[in-house]
Amino acid sequence: MKRISFALYITLVCISFAGPMLHAEKVKVLVAATFTEGMQPLVEQYPNLQLVSFSSSEEALREIGDADALVGLSAADPAGEFLKAGRKLKWMAHGSAGVEETLSDPRVRKADFILTNMKIIQGPQIADHAMALLLNLTRDLKHFNKKMETGWHRKADLPMIQLRGKTMLVVGLGGIGTQVAERAFAFGMRILAVDPKDIPYMRAVDYVGKPDELHELLAQADVVVNCTPHTPETEKMFGPLQFSLMKDGVYFINVSRGAIVDTDAFTAALQSGKVRAAGLDVVDPEPLPNDHPLWSMSNVTITPHLATLSDGRIEQYQKAFNDNVARFMSNRPLRNIVDKQKGY
């Protein structure tokens, strides 16, 4: 056997580890128009990367037949139709943490492709929003903002509550829940949590229970924050029984999905005083009918499902999408892969 030079050996080793980047075949990736320009540097790094921008589902469907991936999927996009038309489609990147609408199509759940989402990435701004909703209620800022129209007023509608020493229960200790826990811990709160996963020790969290411990932990909480994903298992998980088990005068914050809460039972708990006040970024149905009693309750603040918005959001998304496209092109494991059967 002839000996090969060291330089040739190194070249062969590099080729063997270079993965698909040395293949002549183009890798076609459809990218939502908002993120296409920010992905251009990847074309220089991966010469066989072909970026195709789309601004609508119709544009994506026209191009998806020979596409390898689609980046920037939304809940309104027909993911099942994309999979049907995309003969080579291996990966779709969702632009949201919650993917229940996309997974409601059985074709999506059964299809052999990778779905990624924005879990973890949206955590900081949504956690900020959760704490803003809570402080809005515990310091009765809603009342005083309204009273500014008529001048100086000393009397609050709701009691002024100190968070230090209070107990918060975070339901769903994922990318959002962990960030909420860190912020509440900084306020001097004791943090309990519920999550089906085995969570490593966290400085901020005193105890993490499994879902079968929810009822026991609800009874200990002064504040309950819902951060759990919407799945068939969590549908209306906060119902009449769960509200009855909570402390009298509990504060309830929901920054996940409205359908996790039984709206009728929740409204009744607010009307009875069982729930002292509530901050909601999500409701069910969404939006609520204009005549729904929640709109007129002075102890409720509703924001229109915008907790994910922030001045850094596009940059966060761009960085996450670019990182996963680079991983896809170099045949490395993708981040934030969704378990399509579990729903998150």
Q: Among residues 216, 286, 315, 332, which one is catalytic?
A: 286
Clarify whether 257 is annotated catalytic.
Answer: yes
Half-sphere exposure of 230 (CA within 13 A, CB side): 23
Rounded to an integer, what distance in angstroms lies between the CA atom of residue 12 and that of residue 331?
18
Q: Residue 283 is inside which H or E element, if any?
A: none
Rounded to an integer, what distance in angstroms lies between the CA atom of residue 336 and that of residue 64?
23
Are the CB atoms for 225 and 337 separated by under 8 Å? no
Q: Among residues 94, 230, 257, 276, which one is catalytic?
A: 257
Measured in degrees and rounded to the nearest 5, phi and psi for residue 88 equal -110, 5
Clarify whether 230 is annotated catalytic.
Answer: no
CA dihedral 185, 187, 190, 194 (to 10 degrees): -50
Rounded to an integer, what distance in angstroms lies between the CA atom of residue 53 and that of residue 30?
6
Q: How do 223-226 and 250-254 pair as beta strands?
A: parallel
Measured on CA atoms in the order 244, 247, 250, 256, is the torsion positive or negative?
A: negative
Q: Among residues 109, 139, 305, 335, which one is catalytic?
A: 305
Clarify whether 215 is annotated catalytic.
Answer: no
Just list the catalytic residues: 257, 286, 305
